[in-house]
Amino acid sequence: MAERASLHAARTSIPLVLVLQGPTASGKTVLAHALADAFPLEIISADSRQVYRGLDIGTAKPTEAERKRYRYYGIDLCTPDQSISAGQFARWSWEWIGEIAARGKAPIIVGGSGLYVRAITEGLFEEPGRIPPAIRSQLAERLLREGRHALYAELERVDPESAARYSDHNPRRILRALEFYYAHGIPLSYAQNIMRQQPPPMRIERITLLPERPALYGRIAHRVRHMWEAGLTDEMQRLLSQGYNPNLPIFETIGYAEALMTIQGRLDRSSAIERTIVRTRRYAKRQITWLRNSTPLGVVLPHFGDEALNRVYPIIDQLLHSADEYSCDKR
C-alpha cells in the first residue's frame, strides 16, 4: 500500500475523473488520502462550505499538514460574505481537471455537496437574469392564498415537463418553475434543455460510500463532539471579531449556527452539541436520499477505513491501468 503508482500521460481529450461521494462522516476524506498515497491522484473538494476561508473546524476541512501532503483544489476560495455558485465552481473544476490530466495525474472529486458534483459531471443551467421581485411576490401571495395544488395545476398547463419532475408538489420548486415562466416567457424545462452549459468530455467513474445508518450516526456524533472540543465556538467568535455580520447566510450552516447561539447566550453548550448532532444526522439522511434518487452510484461501499480501501484499491488500480490516456507503472 506504501507503493506509489506513477501515471505517464499521453494527452487525450478524455481524461479519467474519479468521483468519491457519500454522506457527511462516511469517511470520504480518509479514503481519498489513502488512495492518493497509493496512486497519482489530486483531490478536488466539492464541498460548498469548504470554499469559505476561516470556516475550518465546522466544515471538517483538511488540515494544513494534509494540504501540504496532498494537492487540493476547491478550498478557501472566498470569504464568508461572498458566494460561489455551483456553475462557477464547475467551470473552475473543469480547468483544474485539465491541469491535473496535463501533469499525468488523475483527479478525484471528493463530494458531499451533490449539486457541486452534479454541476461538474453533468453541467448546470444558470438562469439568464434575476426574477423580477413583483413576479416573485405575486406568486408567493398566490401560494398562500390558493395553495400549492392550485399552482401545481397551473404548472402542469404551462410547463408539463417540470410538473412531471415535481410530482411531490414541492412548493419551492413549483414557485421557481412558475417564476421562470412568467419572467422569461418560456418553460423552465425547455430552457434547461437548450441553455445548459455542458462539461468537457470526461470518463467518469464513481465510488459511493453508503455505510449502515447506526454506524454512520455513531461517527457523526463522534465528529460533532470532536469539532466542539477542537474549538468550534472560538472559531465562530474569531469570525465575528473580524467584522462579519452574524446574520450572513453562511452562519446558518450546521455547527456554526449552534456556536453562534451559544455566543449569544441563546443555547447552552451541551444543548448546542446535541442540536448539532441531530441536524447533522438529518443532513446525512437528505444526502443519502439525493444520492439514491438523483445520481449514478457506481461502486457502492458500505464500509469505513481499511475495509473500504481494501475493497476499492484493486478497482482504482484496474481503472488507471485500463484508461486509454494513461500508462501506469508501479514504483
Q: Pick from 70, 51, 68, 64: which is nearest to 111 by CA?
A: 51
The answer to whether residues 51 and 104 belong to one domain is: yes
The answer to whether residues 19 and 148 belong to one domain is: no
Q: What pLDDT was estimated at residue 330?
A: 37
Rounded Cα distance between 44 and 61, Å, is 12
Picking from 143, 168, 195, the residue at the C-terminal end of a domain is: 195
Residue 270 in domain: no
Residue 183 in domain: yes
The answer to whether residues 92 and 172 belong to one domain is: no
Rounded Cα distance between 38 and 298, Å, is 21
The answer to whether residues 189 and 320 belong to one domain is: no
Q: What pLDDT was estimated at residue 195?
A: 80
CATH value at residue 158: 1.10.20.140
Q: How many domains does the chain have?
A: 2
Residue 19 in domain: yes
The answer to whether residues 204 and 320 belong to one domain is: yes
The answer to whether residues 181 and 169 belong to one domain is: yes
Integer angstrom CA distances of residue 38 from 3, 42, 298: 6, 12, 21
Q: What pLDDT was estimated at residue 251?
A: 96
The answer to whether residues 59 and 208 belong to one domain is: yes
What is the pLDDT averaged over residues 290-300?
A: 90
Domain that holds residue 155: 133-195
Rounded Cα distance between 91 and 84, Å, is 11
pTM of the model: 0.80
Q: What pLDDT was estimated at residue 238?
A: 98
The answer to whether residues 36 and 179 belong to one domain is: no
Backbone φ and ψ of 144, nearest 5° = -65, -40
Cell 454541476 belongs to 119
Q: What pLDDT was estimated at residue 323?
A: 65
Cell 470526461 belongs to 202
Rounded Cα distance between 263 and 277, Å, is 18
The model's pLDDT over 101-155, given as tens digits with 9 standing for 90+, comes to 999 999 999 987 888 999 999 988 777 778 899 999 999 999 999 999 999 999 9
The answer to whether residues 114 and 62 belong to one domain is: yes
Residue 67 in domain: yes
